[in-house]
Each structure stands twice: as C-alpha cells, then as structure tokens.
Amino acid sequence: MSIAEFIAGGAVVIAISYIIIIYNGLIRLKNNVERAFANIDVLLKQRHTELPQLVEICKGYMKHEHNLLLAVTEARSHVQDAREGRDISGLGHAETEMRQSLQNLFIKVEAYPELKANENFLALQERISVLEDTIADRREIYNESVRLNNTRIQQFPDMLVARSFNFVELKYLRFKESDLQPVTTSGLYD
Amino acid sequence: MIESMMDGIRAFLVDLEPGTFDLYHIASIVLLLGSIPFGFHFIRHGRIMQDTPTSKIRSVSQGFVELQGKARSIGGKPLRSPGKSQDCVWYDYKVEERERSGSRDSWKTIIEDRSDNSFYVDDGSGVCAIDPNEAKLKPKTIETWKHDRYRCTEFRIDENEEIYCLGQFETEQGPSRDKVTKESTQAQLDSLKQNQQELLRQFDADGDGEIDIDEWNKAREAAKAKAQKMVGDYYEPTQHHFLLKPFNNKYPFIVSSYGQDELTSRYRFYSIGSFIVFFLSGALAITMTLIKLGN
C-alpha cells in the first residue's frame, strides 16, 4: 500500500464513520424530544387525575360558579384530546386554556373562606400548582430539545444525512406569554 | 517539497539502529490504531454535550442530563486546598521532586492528594450531589509553583465557581408522609403499652382498670390523629438528588469549570489532532514497513 492509497482509504473510513456518528446523533436528538414529551405527558396524566377531585370539592362550596368549573372540566378534556393525539399545537392552546381556567378558579376561591380553609382543597391546590410549575419547566426542556434537533437538521453536513433518512423538523410547544405566570393566587392581593 | 521531505525522513529511518527502528515502527502502528478511536470519541462526546438540553434540578427527570450551576460544599463547610489554602469543593494536589539522571532533569511525584468528598451543583432551583470519584473533572484553576527542588501543582474547583455537569441523574426519596404517620402512630401506641398507668388514665373510660377493644381503638385513633397533626405541621418529605456515572458507557460523566462552548471547541481540536496523528503515524508506519520489506 502506498502512502497516497492509505490517505485516500483513511479519508473514506473517517467520512463513513462520521456519517454514522451524525446519523446516531440525529436519532439521539429525536429520542431526546420523545423523552422530553414523555416527561411532560406523565405530569399531564397526573393532573388529569387530580382535577376531578378539585372540581368535586369546589362544587360543594361554589354553587353559583358553574361556568368556572365547567371551563376547567372542558380545558381538561381538551388537554386530554391533544395529548392522546400527540397534537403539539393543540396541546399548547389547550394548556393555555387550562392555565387560564385554573387561574380564574383560584382567584374566585378567595371569595369562599370556607373552601379556602378546607384542608383537602388546599392540598390539591398545592399539588396542582407544583404540577403546573414542573410542566412549565419541562416544557422549556422540550422546546430546547426541539431547538437542538431543528438546528442540527439545518446545519451542514448533518442536513445531508437528515434529508437522506427523512429526519424532519419538530414543533415547539408554545403557551401564550401571559400564561407562563405560575398558577397560584399568592401575590395577587399584596 | 513533500517529496524531498519524505526522502529526508526515509534517509533518517534507514540510518536508525535496528532496535530503535523497531521501536519507532511499533510506536507508529500503536499511534495509528489508537488515534482513530480517540478522534471519534471526542467527536461523539462533543456532540452529546451540544445536543443535551440543560435541565433544572427541581423538575428534571431521571436519566442522562446536563446541569449548570454553582459548586457548593455539602453542609456549607468548604474544603481547604492543601497547597494554596483556598476554600474549594474539590482539589487534586501533587508535589514533585527534581531528580538528576545524567544530563537530564526529571520530576518524581512524592506527594499526591486528591479529595474524594462529594459536593453539590446548585442551579438556583435545587441542589444535586456529585461524587467526584467516577467523574472526569476539568477544573479551570491550575496553579503551579516551585520551591527549591520541589514543584507543586494544584488543580481546584472553588466554592461558588460555575460548573457544567453531564451525567446520570438519580433521586432518592425519603419516607412518605403516610409512612411517617404510621411509624409515629405505632411509636405512640408502643409507648402507651409500656406505661399502663398512663394508658388507663387516658383511655379507661368505664374505669374498670382494663382496656377493652373499644377503648384500645380510641387510643389508636387518638395516636393516629396526633401523628397526622404532627406530620402535617412539621414533616416535609425529603428528596436527595445525585449525579452519577451513566449506565450506558457511551455517555460521559463530566464535571467542568469550563462552559459547554469551551469544552466542545476543545474536543473538536482534540479530534482534529487525533486525525492528523492518524495520517502522520500511518504514513510513517507504511514507510517503515516498506523499508523493512526492502522496497
């Protein structure tokens, strides 16, 4: 083997190995996005189970707030539909609706001192607020994973491998800016 | 120009002693075979760093993660580095002595001290403990100084220094409220059983000097209510987070005072260096093999 042949052969080996690394990297990025979504999904399911209990407790005290409670129940169902259909844009809208309806409910609760003093309600409110904060954090990670995936797919030479193997850009999970506020009533009356 | 350079190298190799020639030959083959895996290792790890999103400790899920925050000592008591007496969370210190062999100076390590205490990374949302023993540590602070025929070198990660970490995130849950309530209830009942007088005083409603099943149930309920109140008022379930070596060996466990961008540029530089070594050592190995075969 001459030195020229070695250099040509070496370059081919390095190029093929680099393509394999790029391909595996794109798979890893896609899996990161899947994992980030699964981490949000598990919290959405948890909240889905907690919300009926919250609505049930509120019903006992808030006899004249039927529309508020209905809004929470409807938002819950919209989130569930979007989740199950893996509809990222729909989930963003449904989450915005959910956060707004919960925020409205918790504001209204201030007018019901007996409900505010109910220990089960307080525990549920606390759990749901914590879940909302964690969902917001994990949404950031999800969007960051999507950004990293989409950036790689647009970069050279990754774009060549991405196009050859049908790696596509993924959608961001967007909430309205105003809905990024934590779902609590603390601070509202300061 | 390249041809005349190659001729010069060839002439140099031909003139070598047979033993030295074989040594160079083996070294070139080892470099040839070793440089390629190194090159790809750095490319792969650099890409993993770039492709892993930064998580917040309070909401991170279990698995391979990237964290960024300040290095903090556990219990708020920083270590004191042995060389420069600085507050730090980790150090690696060594003292070498100069030895003269013939006309050359060499350094022999006489003291080595590497801290193995765990420390926290604190990103403002929570803290996560890091065991430095299995991690690749890349400290920014490296100080070297000489004293007579001794040379001291200290690597350090200082208290409150910004660190970048990659590894397997695991959480250990403390006992739940239910478990603590049950344990506390049982402890109160055990204590009452030991103190019959107190048991009768509190729960012998009919005053017959004995505790019947209804009275015992009342005692049980009272103990449970007291435990629930105590747990509700004072107990917070604890969680301890750890950053460990990833289960999958292809993923790195890195703790670095250098940020992600600095590390990835470095890894890119190392991978290019490895490929240059691959081509140079390959060319050398082929030339030497041809000389050996008499071509």
Task: Answer whether residue A140 is part of any domain.
Answer: yes
| Greatest mean pLDDT range, B156-160, B179-183, B205-209 | B156-160
Is the same domain home to B221 and B248?
no
Tell me how far CA of residue B200 lies from CA of B185, B188, B192, B211, B221, in angstroms.
Answer: 18, 14, 9, 7, 16
Which residues does chain A have within 8 Å of residue B287's beta carbon, measured at their own beta carbons?
Answer: 3
Is the same domain home to B94 and B169?
yes
pLDDT of residue A99: 87
Which residues does chain A have within 8 Å of residue B36's beta carbon, measured at their own beta carbons?
Answer: 13-14, 17
- Count: domains in chain A: 1
pLDDT of residue B169: 94
Which residues does chain A have within 8 Å of residue B60's beta carbon, measured at their own beta carbons?
Answer: 141
Half-sphere exposure of B208 (CA within 13 A, CB side): 5
Task: Answer whether residue B133 is part of any domain.
Answer: yes
ipTM computed for the complex: 0.75
Is the same domain home to B170 and B196?
no
**B282 contacts A21? CB cut-off 8 A:** no
* Bridge partner list, B150: B97, B147
Task: Answer whether residue A115 is part of any domain.
Answer: yes
- Count: domains in chain B: 3
Q: Is the pLDDT of residue B166 over 70?
A: yes
pLDDT of residue A177: 56
Task: Answer whether residue A187 is part of any domain.
Answer: no
Helix (H) or strand (E) holding B21: helix B18-51
pLDDT of residue A188: 41
Which residues does chain B have within 8 Å of residue A17's beta carbon, measured at their own beta carbons?
Answer: 36, 40
pLDDT of residue A189: 40
pLDDT of residue A190: 39
Is the same domain home to B162 and B195?
no
Q: Is the pLDDT of residue B176 over 80?
A: no
Is the same domain home to B170 and B193?
no
Check which CATH number belongs to the domain holding A107 and give it. 1.20.1440.20
Count the Cβ atoms, other than its own, within 10 Å of residue B70.
17
Task: Answer whether residue A190 is part of any domain.
Answer: no
Mark residue B234 as left, alpha or beta (left: phi above 0; alpha: psi -120 to 50; beta: remaining): alpha
Q: Which residue has the tokens 């240059």?
A: B276
Chain A: closest CA distance from residue B134 (Å): 24
Q: Is the pLDDT of residue A50 over 90?
A: no
pLDDT digits (tens, 9 = 90+) for A132-144: 888 888 988 999 9
B295 part of contact set with chain A, CB < 8 Å = no
Q: Is the pLDDT of residue B246 over 90?
A: yes
Mean pLDDT of chain A: 84
Tell me the percentage of chain A whose pLDDT exceeds 90: 25
Half-sphere exposure of B56 (CA within 13 A, CB side): 15
**Are the C-beta atoms of residues B101 and B82 closer than 8 Å to each other?**
no
Count the Cβ atoms, other than its own, within 10 Å of residue A152.
22
Mean pLDDT, residues B90-99 taken together: 94
Task: Answer whether residue B135 is part of any domain.
Answer: yes
Q: Higher model confidence: residue A186 or residue B13?
A: B13
pLDDT of residue B252: 94
Q: Structural domain of residue A76, as residue ranges?
A: 3-180
Is the same domain home to B40 and B90?
no
Is the same domain home to B163 and B66?
yes
Helix, strand and coil in chain A, % to nearest 5: 80, 0, 20
**B282 contacts A137? CB cut-off 8 A:** no
Task: Answer whether residue A186 is part of any domain.
Answer: no
Mean pLDDT, residues B256-263 taken together: 94
pLDDT digits (tens, 9 = 90+) for A6-44: 888 889 999 999 999 999 999 999 999 999 999 989 998
Q: Structural domain of residue B191, as residue ranges?
A: 184-234
CA angle B106, B109, B115 (to 5 degrees): 150
Return the DSSP state at B56. P
Q: Higher model confidence: residue A185 or residue B105?
A: B105
pLDDT of residue A7: 86
Task: Answer whether residue A52 is part of any domain.
Answer: yes
Residue ranges of B 38-97 with Cβ closer than 8 A to chain A: 39-40, 43-44, 47-48, 50-56, 58-61, 63
pLDDT digits (tens, 9 = 90+) for A52-79: 888 888 888 877 777 888 888 888 989 8
Is the same domain home to B80 and B158?
yes
Closest Cβ opposite residue B51 in set A1, A17, A25 = A25
pLDDT of residue A176: 66
Task: Answer whether residue A188 is part of any domain.
Answer: no
Q: Higher model confidence: residue B186 or residue B164?
A: B164
pLDDT of residue A185: 47
pTM (predicted TM-score): 0.77
pLDDT of residue A113: 82
- Dist. CA A103–CA A176, nearest whole Å: 14
pLDDT digits (tens, 9 = 90+) for A78-96: 988 888 888 888 888 888 8
Q: What is the 3-state secondary structure (H, E, C) of chain B?
A: CHHHHHHHHHHHHHCCCHHHHHHHHHHHHHHHHHHHHHHHHHHHHHHHHHHCCECCCCCCCCEEEEEEEEEEEHHHCCEECCCCCCEEEEEEEEEEEEEEECCEEEEEEEEEEECCCCEEEECCCCEEEECCCCCEEECCEEEEEEECCEEEEEEEEECCCEEEEEEEEEEEECCCHHHHHHHHHHHHHHHHHHCHHHHHHHHCCCCCCCCCHHHHHHHHHHHHHHHHHHHHHHCCCCEEEEEECCCCCCCCCEEECCCHHHHHHHHHHHHHHHHHHHHHHHHHHHHHHHHHCCC
Residue ranges of B 117-156 with Cβ closer than 8 A to chain A: 125
Task: Answer whether residue B168 is part of any domain.
Answer: yes
pLDDT band at B67 (very low <50, low <70, confident <90, very high): very high
Mean pLDDT, residues A116-127 taken together: 83
**A10 contacts B61? CB cut-off 8 A:** no
Is the same domain home to B88 and B157?
yes
B229 part of contact set with chain A, CB < 8 Å = no
pLDDT of residue A120: 81
Chain A / chain B CB contacts < 8 angstroms: 64
Mean pLDDT, residues B266-284 taken together: 93
A129 part of contact set with chain B, CB < 8 Å = no
- Dist. CA A137–CA B59, nearest whole Å: 6
Is the same domain home to B248 and B268?
no
